[in-house]
Structure 1
Amino acid sequence: MSKNAAFIGMGVMGYPMAGHLQKAGFSTTVYNRTAAKAQQWVAEFGGASADTPKEAAANADIVLVCVGNDEDVRSVFFGDQGILAGLAPGALVVDHTTTSAGLAEELDIAVKAAQSEFVDGPVSGGQAGAENGQLSIMCGGEQSSYERAQSVFQAYGKGWQLLGKAGSGQRCKMVNQVCIAGILQGLAEGIALAQKTGLDVEKVQQVLAGGAAQSWQLENRAHTMAKDEYDFGFAIDWMIKDLGYCLDEAKRNHLTLPVASQVRGFYQELQAQGMNRCDTSVLLRKLKQDN
């Protein structure tokens, strides 16, 4: 694959991901809605910035996107200044944004109509994973397109998998978020019980880490939850958005997700209290409010 790349979206995930891409030898042009952030990236990593998604995509063999939600994705793909307006035939587009599966299917059709290739590739690993180049990438698309993308994934991923046709990556990310929601609620309840009964949460975490209760959340969030620290990590605003996609997809498939639905409701209550930028582990604070 040619080394000309474009990266759209310089948020907490896209900024370091694009940095890894540039360091891996890709000539990277970035675009961000707030131009100052793109210019800051250029000052730090080199490469170039563009004034529009169309301009960023114009000379790129691979275009990567990581923005906020379905509406944000549509705003950078479509229109006179969107990616599709500048996309060269034969280019590969990878959307790393967590979106609905329906949008991924829509983009697959639109990109193929532009004689290019598409992969939906939402990621897991959070800001730390993006900064350390240790993201897990869940992919949907054609096998040949997925194979093209792997040379790029090596720059910021630790593992990736093709799950099926376009939209499959997003559906896998939904599974990921549903699992996380349940684990965090269970962890919140467990820590609350430990604290109420006078146990040392740090010691509890250490002993549980060697057994069946082990999880990334237990290892990385138990100690901060015990100290009521939530000013970091994956904001509940984004989890509410993601779980909304999960519940919509479940409904389309005649499935109920009671735990995911309940936990999303808890997050919405916390959001209404102004905790919208707190880490998703803030569920413990909600539990304490109710007891």
Structure 2
Amino acid sequence: MTEPLTISCIGLGTMGGPIARHLGQAGHRLTVFNRSDARREAWLAANPGLAARVAGSPAEAAEGADAVITCVGNDDDLADVVLSPQGAFAGLRPGAVLIDHTTVSARIARQIAVEGRDKEILCVDAPVTGGQSGAESGTLSIMCGGSDKAIAAARPILAAYAKRVVHVGKSGAGQTTKMVNQMCLAATIAGLSEAMRFAQAAHLDLGKVFEAISGGAAQSWQMDNRWDTMADDSFDFGFAVDWMRKDLGLAIEEARGLGASVPTTALIDQFYADVQALGGGRQDTSALIRRLPLRGQKPA
């Protein structure tokens, strides 16, 4: 690693918590803030070997920092921890970098970049893919929007927990690329769900079907990692349906503004609404198969 930096992490959830841990283990000087006291205390208890300073607000966390990393829930959460009177921009010095890993709208990413430019703060919208397992293992793939200077400042930091960092374009481009990712993911899961139900209706051996098709053109990460769990109706893990609906909603909204047609995405979004109605909002996105019962069965 390069020279240790003073880095503040705002948001210690499923993704933000492991990211903060990797930065501390890499030797950076770490400050943490989380709006929920319980989650902050749980993170501290799980990482007793890290000498992390605890801040009382995002502004306090940002004071003296070379970089602030945010990983929160949605647009409103991000605006609160960055742009409010007690937000990170109130404490960050000129020349520091703000790296946001939240999946949010391109609109707020661009807004933050504009306000950051006025304060001489380098801003990177940097949503991630790779899931909780990627965050835990430090192998996330990160799609970044921002200026060349901002990306150059962010790369040494991202190296602590990413296997791939791609500068995809100007501010907001990271978020629109994440929308592309989620659209592809949702369509893959929808196809996998229908195919598995078809195989079951045909009384095929699912293990043999997987062996036959997983090495060819139909192969996908979802097939490799979710085929067995879907067959077992096991969904209490992974990326939640509620979050997928949030992400697809962002994509549909952005498409509307661009004049792009996304009928498949809109249809799958409604399929996920059916899963929510079945009580599966907190289940993994592979729970989409629940809305396709076998003949004679009711939706589980």
TM-score normalised by L of structure 2: 0.94
| 1:155 counterpart SS class | coil
CA contact (8 A) 1:187 1:218 kept: yes
The 5-angstrom pairing of residues 180-199 of structure 1 reads 180-199=185-204
Is 1:276 matched up with 2:285? no
Deviation sequence 1:182-240 (CA, Å, 0-9, x none) = 00000001110111111222222222221001110000011100000000000011000
Q: Which of 236, 239, 252 does residue 234 from structure 1 map onto?
A: 239
Q: Which of 23, 26, 39 does residue 21 from structure 1 map onto?
A: 23
Identify the residue that residue 4 of structure 1 maps to in structure 2.
6
Instruction: Return the offset for 1:109.
Output: 0.7
Identify the residue that residue 248 of structure 2 maps to in structure 1.
243
Is 1:161 matched up with 2:191? no
Aligned equivalents of 2:285, 2:164: Cα separation in 1? 24
Is 1:112 matched up with 2:114? no
CA contact (8 A) 1:243 1:260 kept: yes
| 2:160 counterpart SS class | helix
Aligned equivalents of 1:281, 1:222: Cα separation in 2? 9
Aligned equivalents of 2:133, 2:212: Cα separation in 1? 25
Identity across the alignment (%): 45
Aligned equivalents of 1:12, 1:260: Cα separation in 2? 26
Aligned equivalents of 1:36, 1:225: Cα separation in 2? 33
Instruction: Return the offset for 1:41.
Output: 2.3
Letter in 2 for 1:213: A
Aligned equivalents of 1:89, 1:278: Cα separation in 2? 42
Identify the residue that residue 76 of structure 2 maps to in structure 1.
71
Structure 2 gaps, min length 5: none
Instruction: Return the offset for 1:290.
Output: 6.6
Aligned equivalents of 1:46, 1:219: Cα separation in 2? 39
CA contact (8 A) 1:57 1:86 kept: yes
Instruction: Return the offset for 1:60.
Output: 0.8
Letter in 1 for 2:156: S
Aligned equivalents of 1:290, 1:169: Cα separation in 2? 37
C-alpha RMSD of matched pairs (Å):
1.4
Is 1:200 matched up with 2:202? no
* More deviation, 144-153/235-244: 144-153
CA contact (8 A) 1:13 1:66 kept: yes
Deviation sequence 1:146-172 (CA, Å, 0-9, x none) = 011111111111101001100000010
Structure 1 gaps, min length 5: none
Is 1:102 matched up with 2:104? no
Aligned equivalents of 1:14, 1:135: Cα separation in 2? 12
Identify the residue that residue 228 of structure 2 maps to in structure 1.
223
Instruction: Return the offset for 1:135.
Output: 0.6
Aligned equivalents of 2:8, 2:66: Cα separation in 1? 8
TM-score normalised by L of structure 1: 0.97
Aligned equivalents of 1:25, 1:206: Cα separation in 2? 44
Identify the residue that residue 131 of structure 1 maps to in structure 2.
136
Q: Which of 39, 47, 59 does residue 41 from structure 2 map onto?
A: 39
Aligned equivalents of 2:187, 2:11: Cα separation in 1? 30
Aligned equivalents of 2:135, 2:12: Cα separation in 1? 12
Letter in 1 for 2:269: R
Q: 1:39 to 1:49 in 2, by over 3 A?
A: farther
Is 1:211 matched up with 2:198? no
Instruction: Return the offset for 1:2.
Output: 5.2
Aligned equivalents of 1:264, 1:114: Cα separation in 2? 38
Letter in 2 for 1:192: R
4+ residue runs over 6 A deviation = none
Identify the residue that residue 261 of structure 1 maps to in structure 2.
266
Aligned equivalents of 1:183, 1:175: Cα separation in 2? 12
